[in-house]
Amino acid sequence: MEFAVFALSPSSLVLSPSHFPKTTILSRSHVSNKLFQSSRLPSLKNASIFKILSMNKEERRSANYHPSVWELQLIESLSTPYSYELHANRLEELKQEARRAFVSTNEPRAKLKLIDSIQRLGVAYHFEREIEEAIKLTELDVNGDLHTTSLHFRLLRQHAFSVSTDVFEKFRSNRDGKFKDSIRMDVAGLLSLYEASYLGMPGEDHVLEEAKNFSSKHLKSLLETIKDAVLAKHVKQSLEVTLHWKLPRIEARDFIDIYSSDNTRNLDLLELAKLDYNLVQSQHQRELKELARCEKCGAEVEFAFQDSGIAREVWKGADIKDRLWCSILHHEDGRADSRVPMISWSLWYACNDSKAHQIQDPFYEEKQKG
């Protein structure tokens, strides 16, 4: 059975697992309507946005926003073959297989790599307890190589465990305290060190800052000479936007490509990541369609537009952007109850912010004239 990751273009939504084109994050919010009307999600018709928007009825100057391309007809045309109703059983089977992998993996380095892969693939929220316990029980190997030591350090700090930068002392020279030249050709180790270097603490010594400078310098110099295509892609992506700064949904989308080409990949975990990605995306798409319909079907919305004097383009442009960010912050399927109120508040803020700019800027008219 094939599991697809969707692209932004409506004309090429479904792709095979072997072909993952670059997409923008907006593609993570495409989907259908029936599930939204079920008890699983609150109705947007009753969302606070419609109750909060009440302004004096007066003529407002136009902000001259560009028309949004996200018309209702375009959003309604988006579709997906994935749904929790059809794929719930397979999803549970794959989750159980991943749990069995935790139990069967005893070697510390292999377990750390498994945890890191699960997190990067965007399915860690299914295994929070297992991951927490595994990290807690895995002892830091003082004799480990650069990659394992850096990976373990990063995972510990990501999960709020106390760990000192002293673990990197064995990779530094006793003479001047700088990182040893002997590790400058270890690409996997340098990459892991680079990603770990972004988890410094306030008031900490400069070890991680030195690690960042050292690893980034040598990774950049080695990038064109890396023969392993998967590793080279991984390094390139990390240098562009490091893991610590990257949005989890974008990282999941990118890492699916990398993990698919990994010879040591767990096929059940890979299938789980693709299926979960598509199912979560289908949920976002359903919510997006319901949000788009609000402008057309709600009398309260019509009143809000007329009373505030704000152009429809503000609403239509804001709903997609705010929907995007709310989906990034709370992307999991079970968090619709927090996504919808956040969208309502964000739309209210966007509309009021537009009005405030028109009122408060004394040079607004001159700026619009160019």
Nearest C-alpha neighbor of 186 from the set 147, 141, 230, 213: 147
In order of their start, the domains of the chain are: 10-83+283-369 (no CATH), 84-273 (1.50.10.130)
Cα–Cα distance for residue pair 325/18, rounded to 1 Å: 28
Cα–Cα distance for residue pair 184/139, rounded to 1 Å: 26
CB 79 within 8 A of CB 32: yes
Nearest C-alpha neighbor of 172 from the set 214, 140, 144, 203: 214
Tokens of 228: 């392993």
Handedness of CA 252, 254, 255, 259 (dihedral sign): positive
CB 270 within 8 A of CB 223: no
Query: pLDDT > 70: what percent of the chain?
Result: 60
Q: Which residues is 313 bridged to in the sheet? A: none
Q: How confident is the model at residue 343 (pLDDT cuts 50, 70, 90)?
A: low
**Averaged pLDDT for residues 191-220:** 95
φ, ψ for residue 210, nearest 5 deg: -65, -40
Spatial neighbors of 280 by CB under 8 A, at least 6 apart, are 28, 331, 332, 333
pLDDT tens, 251-290?
A: 999 999 999 999 989 999 999 999 999 999 898 888 777 7
* Mean pLDDT score across all residues of the chain: 74
Greater confidence, 365 or 89?
Answer: 89
Query: pLDDT > 90: what percent of the chain?
Result: 46
CB-count burial class (<10 Å; 0-12, 13-18, 19+) for 97: middle
pLDDT tens, 61-82?
A: 556 666 666 677 787 888 899 9
Is pLDDT above 80 for 28?
no
**Helix H segments across 3-107?**
49-52, 72-77, 84-104
Alpha-carbon torsion angle 197, 198, 200, 201, nearest 10: 180
Is pLDDT above 80 for 22?
no
Say what the pLDDT of residue 141 is.
Answer: 83
Side chain identity at residue 228, one-letter code: D
Say what the pLDDT of residue 147 is.
Answer: 96
